[in-house]
Amino acid sequence: MDKISSETTKNLFAEYVMPTYAPQLVFARGEGAYLFDPEGNRYLDFAAGIAVCNLGHCHPAITEAIRKQAGELLHVSNLFMNTKAPQLAQKLIESGFDGKVFFCNSGAEANEGLIKFARKWGNQTGRNEIIAMEDSFHGRTLATLAATGRSKYRKGFEPDVTGFKHVKFNDIEALKAAITSKTCAVLMEPVQGEGGIIPGKPEYIKAVRQLCDEKNILLLFDEVQCGIGRVGELYAHQLYGVEPDAFSLAKALGNGLPIGAFLVTHKYADILTVGTHASTFGGNAVSAAAAIAVIDTIKKDNILEHVKKIGDYLQNRLREITAGYDFVQEVRGKGLMIGVVLDSSAAPLQKILMKYNLITLTAGETVLRLVPPLIITEKECEEALAAIEKGLKEFSDLKREESKI
């Protein structure tokens, strides 16, 4: 069953896989910024596995690190040490954050860890309430759903985990008004992803840090989507010159292998002690080896500078080609985390673009999300832009016809 068709795969999916997703395409192979279906059709990938494959598909350095480690050791549990996880922790800390690391397997798990860390610290003084942001997204577990600022994700899973409240993002006065004697932490994405590609305003991020210092409240950043180079710095908070007390990573850290982490400053690194938190597969040797290769490659190949330059180029070109369409309200983002904001649902445009062999995402309801691999070239950007131009024209015609009904 190594080589099966798209049709066979879809039939197997329909019969045996829970219907929590509704995928339309099947992919069998990836290379760089491209994906290939079982029939050999090629697609340009501007989704990157939802901002996961930052170095593209099957990057030689990542593939070799996985292959080599898989032949030596897969797993021993965290009752023992493997040689890779501590090396990865060192690289993450020496990349600009003075603290310690806990490894896990996903973004939701990393954010659960942040929440547990904050409550463990806060409960020492009778504080356990966390303020999160409206339109945020922190995961699908019960606690991270409660932290998520979009109620639609929680529908049907009530009762909500208590201890969370939500305020408007980029509004420092709303945050000030929400703080009480029970508040132990503020949790936010420096650049909101699922909520619509909404960058934090620099003055707001700095004001939040100052407020947390004044009130002795932890500042927690969720960098699951915006971290690992996505916005032009290895860690998104480095873009703002603001250091959180702890932050989460996942997605692109393993370039496709499951791995998550949260990093805590030295001041609070002893809050979680032996027996207070754990993860069976966290920091397993293969995922850690892949992540080491990711960090090394980003630095060796000067990926961060490339992201800044190509991100500016892509955003400027998007503004050019969308200027003639009144249903496009804005192009926004940081680095290669870009949103094209529409005045209606972005889902029809996303579907149209698939016909032109371009894979994109949506964010919120009205934002076309573009998160290509960080290794994307100007030529590949122009290929995507050509498809987007065709898609915009078709989408415009569709909206015109709908308005006649």
Half-sphere exposure at residue 160, Cβ-oriented, CA atoms within 13 angstroms: 16
What is the predicted pLDDT for the residue at 136? Answer: 98
Indicate if the pLDDT at residue 209 is higher than 90. yes
What is the predicted pLDDT for the residue at 401? Answer: 83
Contact of 181 with 122, CB cutoff 8 Å = no
What is the predicted pLDDT for the residue at 3? Answer: 84
Fold of 60-300: Aspartate Aminotransferase; domain 2 (3.40.640)
What is the predicted pLDDT for the residue at 236? Answer: 98
pLDDT cut 90: percent of the chain above it: 97
Contact of 278 with 266, CB cutoff 8 Å = no
The alpha-carbon radius of gyration of the chain (Å, integer) is 21
Rounded to whole angstroms, how far apart are CA atoms 314 and 310? 6
- So where are the chain's domains? 6-58+302-404, 60-300
Kindly state the average pLDDT of the residues 56-77.
98
Indicate if the pLDDT at residue 375 is higher than 90. yes
User: Can 6-58+302-404 and 60-300 be said to share one CATH topology?
Assistant: no
Q: What is the pLDDT of residues 25-59, one digit of tens each?
A: 999 999 999 999 999 999 999 999 999 999 999 99
Rounded to whole angstroms, how far apart are CA atoms 383 and 161? 45
Tokens read off for 314 = 């892509």
Residue of 366, 359, 318 whose CA lies nearest to 338: 318
Rounded to whole angstroms, how far apart are CA atoms 223 and 160? 24
List C-alpha distances in Å: 404 to 327, 344, 399, 400. 16, 16, 9, 7
Written in H, E and C, the secondary structure of 64-118 is HHHHHHHCCCCCCCCCCCCCHHHHHHHHHHCCCCCEEEEEECCHHHHHHHHHHHH
DSSP structure class, residue 257: B
Contact of 333 with 239, CB cutoff 8 Å = no
Rounded to whole angstroms, how far apart are CA atoms 186 and 79? 32
Q: For tokens 């596995």, what's the residue?
A: 49
What residues are paired with 101 via a beta bridge?
263
* Whole-prediction pTM: 0.97
Q: What is the pLDDT of residues 220-271, one digit of tens each?
A: 999 999 999 999 999 999 999 999 999 999 999 999 999 999 999 999 999 9
What residues are paired with 330 via a beta bridge?
341
Q: What is the pLDDT of residues 116-172, one digit of tens each?
A: 999 999 999 999 999 999 999 999 999 999 999 999 999 999 999 999 999 999 999
Q: What is the pLDDT of residues 159-172, one digit of tens each?
A: 999 999 999 999 99
Indicate if the pLDDT at residue 299 is higher than 70. yes
What is the predicted pLDDT for the residue at 250? Answer: 98
User: Under CATH, which number does the domain 6-58+302-404 receive?
Assistant: 3.90.1150.10
**Helix (H) or strand (E) segment spanning residue 198:** strand 198-199
Indicate if the pLDDT at residue 1 is higher than 70. no
Rounded to whole angstroms, how far apart are CA atoms 68 and 255? 16
* b (16+ CB within 10 A) / e for 17-49: eeeeeeeeebbbebebbbbebbeeeebbbbbbb
Quick one: pLDDT band at residue 403, thresholds 50, 70, 90? Answer: confident
Quick one: pLDDT band at residue 2, thresholds 50, 70, 90? Answer: low
Rounded to whole angstroms, how far apart are CA atoms 364 and 284? 34
Rounded to whole angstroms, how far apart are CA atoms 299 and 228? 11
DSSP output for 4-51: --HHHHHHHHHHHS-TT--------EEEBTEEE-TT--EEEESSHHHH
pLDDT cut 70: percent of the chain above it: 99
